[in-house]
Amino acid sequence: MTFSATVDQKPFAAAMAAAARLAARRTTIPILSHVILRGDAAGALAVSATDLEQALTQTVPCAAGAAGGVTAPAAPLAAFAAKADAGEPITLTMDGAMLTARQGRLRLRLPTLPLSDAPIFHDLPAGPDWEVDAAPFLERLKAIGAAASTEETRFYLNGVYLDLRQAPVMVATNGHILALDRLEDLTPPVGAPGVIIPNAAVTALPLVMAGQKRLDLRIGGERLAAQAHGLVFSTRLIDGRYPDYSRVIPADTPRAARVKKTALLRLLDRVSVIEEVDKESNNARIVRLTFSPGELTAGVKNRDGEESADACAAEVDGDEQRMGFNVAYLRAMAQSLSTASGDTLELRFSDALAPILLTVADDTPPRDRQRLRVIMPIRV
């Protein structure tokens, strides 16, 4: 096995950080904890990693052309690159079965595995691609992912559904909460399907593509790929049928309460001190909201007799109404709207046991708004 390369510290450290996030730290397949380094025909260095479900390849320019290929443990090599001096080149060479990374007097020697053990990376999906603005797409993917389920029995809910069949929609639900964003600025290819992006990719994609301005997306077969400036990330999609999410969104919500975003998040955070202390108590998971003219009051009480309460200003339609919610769910859904334009949230409902519709307040009909959140109440 032969390999040599000289790379600049900054781009190599960035590529290694992304690869190390994807590579498995604890696995029964040792090669999956390794990064694959290969010189390409242009003399650049391709840094790759995979967990068999997701794959990442980033091309790094070389001060001196890269040649050959090698595998090496991802975590220590990423740490070495991060701690190396900025602006100084790093040399990578083979010494027998060991990879040596050097920068000045700093040296790291790592055992390698045969390059033939490395997984075969899938070609890009064969479907047509389209371009999106990276920052808003990734921000919404992360926000919507907060509502995805983690229950293995309902595997088809273990991710974000990208519905491209008509007007593009991004949605996730765990059966207790639902998050939906309408992607009015997204123009997918005609005939593009609806796909379920798994939770692992929902978490990884915003991290590895952070700082990119544009993304090229491509869907084909059972995979989705995103490309940007020499960086390619692909993931296996969930093979399942997503349920009809439109049935969950309440249509009859005659009552409304409007409250500032920051005020609601602060309110929920302050009364959650008991929940943080006593996570085993079922009662501690419930926040009791009281909607009354001019005020929203929140309270938490657990079975040990501990209580917390706070209130904030709110514009409330109608008479007093009390409702109960899982405080973690309510806080997560409010937080997922924190980057949306507009500083006022609107909570719409019909009665104490009906789902609540949480949106950013504007003049459009509630169900037609760009960003919707639905939270199921708890009987109190």
Distance CA 22, CA 25 (A): 9
How many other C-beta atoms are found inside a 10 Å radius of the C-beta of residue 344? 16
* CATH, range 249-375: 3.10.150.10
CB 238 within 8 A of CB 155: yes
Beta carbons of 47 and 19 less than 8 angstroms apart: yes
Interval 153-191: pLDDT, tens:
999 999 999 998 888 999 999 999 999 999 988 888 888
Residue 67 CA to residue 80 CA, distance in Å, equals: 21
pLDDT at 282: 55
* Confidence at residue 284, expressed as pLDDT on a 0 to 100 scale: 52
What tokens were used for 286? Answer: 């419930």
Domain ranges of the chain: 3-117, 131-246, 249-375
Contacts 24+ apart (CB under 8 A), 156-159: 156/196, 156/238, 156/240, 156/241, 156/242, 156/243, 157/242, 157/243, 158/198, 158/199, 158/238, 159/196, 159/197, 159/198, 159/199, 159/201, 159/202, 159/238
131-246 and 249-375 agree in CATH topology = yes
Query: What class is the 131-246 domain?
Result: alpha beta
- Indicate if the pLDDT at residue 283 is higher than 90: no
Residue-level pLDDT at 339: 87
**DSSP bridge partners of 101:** 92, 108
Please check whether residue 195 is in contact with residue 156, taking contact to mean a CB–CB distance below 8 angstroms.
no
pLDDT digit string, tens, across residues 356-374:
999 998 878 888 889 999 9
Percent of the chain with pLDDT over 90: 71
What pLDDT, on a 0 to 100 scale, did the predictor assign at position 344?
A: 95
The pLDDT tens digits for 324-339 are: 999 999 999 999 999 8
Determine the topology of domain 3-117 in CATH: DNA Polymerase III; Chain A, domain 2 (3.10.150)
pTM over 0.95? The answer is no
Three-class DSSP category at 312: strand
Per-residue pLDDT of 104-127, as tens digits, reads: 999 999 999 999 898 877 667 776
Q: Which of 320, 318, 328, 330 has the alpha carbon at shortest distance from 355?
A: 330
Question: Rounded CA gap, 265 and 139, in Å?
Answer: 19
**Who wins on pLDDT, 148 or 26?**
148
> Which DSSP helix (H) or strand (E) runs through 270?
helix 261-271
Burial class (CB in 10 A: 0-12, 13-18, 19+), 157: buried
Query: Are 254 and 260 within 8 A, CB to CB?
Result: no
Q: How confident is the model at residue 138 (pLDDT cuts 50, 70, 90)?
A: very high
Say how far apart CA 5 and CA 68 lie, in whole Å. 9
The residue type at 260: K
More confident: 63 or 150:
150
Helix (H, G, I), strand (E, B) or coil at 46: strand
| Rounded-to-integer distance, Cα 340 and Cα 140, Å | 9
The rounded distance, in Å, linking the Cα atoms of 312 and 296 is 5
CB 229 within 8 A of CB 215: no
